[in-house]
């Protein structure tokens, strides 16, 4: 029986939000999945403080469509045609709308909200925006570091990942990330190639057979790549650069990837097209 997933989607109120929504619907196509749209002050294109005095009891004041419409109208680049189309898609998905205002409240409330979601979907387009200011990046960085559920950084050009690359270093954290991925997105294993990237440590060497047997429950044939800790990150990038398209699954080097994307966004390896990341 397919897993029913609760997913939080970071939306900025622009055409990029529609691209992320379209991409998410193609990847997560179980009709019973639940989507929750998060519009966050400092990340949305408009000033949400000008739209809503408070987010308390917001659902009692407006319908979901009215909330989304008000937010979309804060961006002057949004045409009426786009706004109507986007609202219709949200209605078809029964997308629940969450609005977060105020820096301290946003961090605290959104972290709490993530506890009740299985995945937090973020489009990489949000990092490419030419007008994103330091405060917005601070908000994005804080959210990504503190979120209490797995993050999927999606390249919205990807319809299929083609390759799933799992990182295993023998630690409980790396195995937990793989198990979470298999539970939440295991259907991706059927139509994509699988590569197990083993960081050679004492723990991974003694537990490698266990992880291989575990994965064979889902896919009989897959590749294994072994790297040593001293060359781990550079060799990982060498492996990934040879793949046309991939989803990297990791629970052990979240900070390396986040820092590369946030602080080196113009030259980040992971910002290139056809590259997505599951951070467990």
Nearest in space to 242 (alpha carbons), one of 212, 197, 191: 197
**Tens of pLDDT along 80-132?**
999 999 999 999 989 998 888 766 666 688 888 889 999 999 998 887 776 65
pLDDT band with cut points at 50, 70 and 90 for residue 245: very high
Of 35-44, 199-208, 261-270, which gets the smallest average pLDDT? 261-270
Would you state the structure tokens that stand for residue 201, as one six-digit string?
Answer: 């440590």
Rounded Cα–Cα distance for residues 280 and 265 (Å): 21
Q: What CATH fold (topology level) applies to the domain 163-279?
A: Rossmann fold (3.40.50)
Specify whether the CB–CB gap between 178 and 250 falls below 8 A. Answer: no
The DSSP line for 82-143 is: HHHHHHHHHHHTT-EEEEE-SHHHHHHHHHHHHTT-SEEEEETHHHH-TT--HHHHHHHHHH
Q: Name the residue with tokens 């060498």.
A: 238
Q: What angle do CA 52, 106, 177 make, to 5 degrees?
A: 135
271 neighbors 127 (Cβ within 8 angstroms): yes
Report how far residue 71's alpha carbon sits from residue 44's, in angstroms, rounded to the nearest whole number.
8
pTM of the entire predicted model? 0.90
**Structure tokens of 122?**
């973020």
Top pLDDT among 276 and 1 is at 276
* Contact of 124 with 155, CB cutoff 8 Å: yes
d(C-alpha 47, C-alpha 208), whole Å = 50
pLDDT digits (tens, 9 = 90+) for 62-74: 899 999 999 999 8
How much is the pLDDT for 106?
66
Same fold, 6-154 and 163-279: yes
One CATH from 3.40.640.10, 3.40.50.300, 3.40.50.720, 3.40.50.11900 for 6-154 = 3.40.50.720
For the chain, the structural domain boundaries read 6-154, 163-279
Q: What is the pLDDT of residue 150?
A: 92
């Amino acid at each position: 029986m397919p897993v029913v997933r609760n997913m939080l989607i970071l939306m900025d109120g622009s055409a990029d939000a529609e691209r992320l929504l379209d991409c998410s619907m193609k990847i997560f196509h179980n009709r019973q999945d639940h989507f929750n749209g998060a519009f966050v002050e400092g990340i949305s294109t408009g000033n949400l403080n000008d739209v809503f005095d408070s987010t308390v009891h917001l659902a009692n004041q407006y319908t979901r469509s009215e909330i989304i419409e008000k937010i979309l109208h804060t961006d002057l680049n949004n045409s009426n045609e786009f706004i109507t189309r986007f609202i219709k898609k949200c209605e078809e998905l029964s997308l629940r709308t969450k609005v977060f205002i105020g820096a301290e409240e946003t961090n605290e409330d959104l972290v709490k909200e993530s506890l009740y979601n299985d995945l937090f979907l973020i489009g990489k387009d949000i990092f490419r925006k030419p007008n994103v200011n330091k405060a917005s990046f601070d908000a994005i960085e804080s959210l990504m570091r503190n979120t209490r559920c797995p993050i999927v950084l999606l390249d919205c050009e990807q319809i299929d990942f083609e390759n799933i690359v799992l990182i295993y270093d023998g630690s409980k954290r790396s195995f937990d990330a793989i198990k979470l991925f298999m539970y939440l997105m295991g259907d991706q294993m059927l139509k994509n190639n699988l590569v197990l990237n083993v960081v050679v440590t004492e723990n991974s060497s003694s537990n490698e057979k266990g992880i291989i047997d575990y994965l064979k429950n889902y896919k009989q044939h897959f590749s294994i790549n072994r790297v040593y800790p001293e060359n781990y990150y550079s060799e990982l990038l060498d492996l990934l650069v040879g793949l046309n398209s991939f989803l990297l699954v990791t629970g052990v080097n979240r900070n390396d990837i986040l820092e590369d994307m946030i602080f080196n966004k113009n030259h980040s390896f992971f910002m290139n097209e056809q590259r997505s990341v599951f951070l467990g």
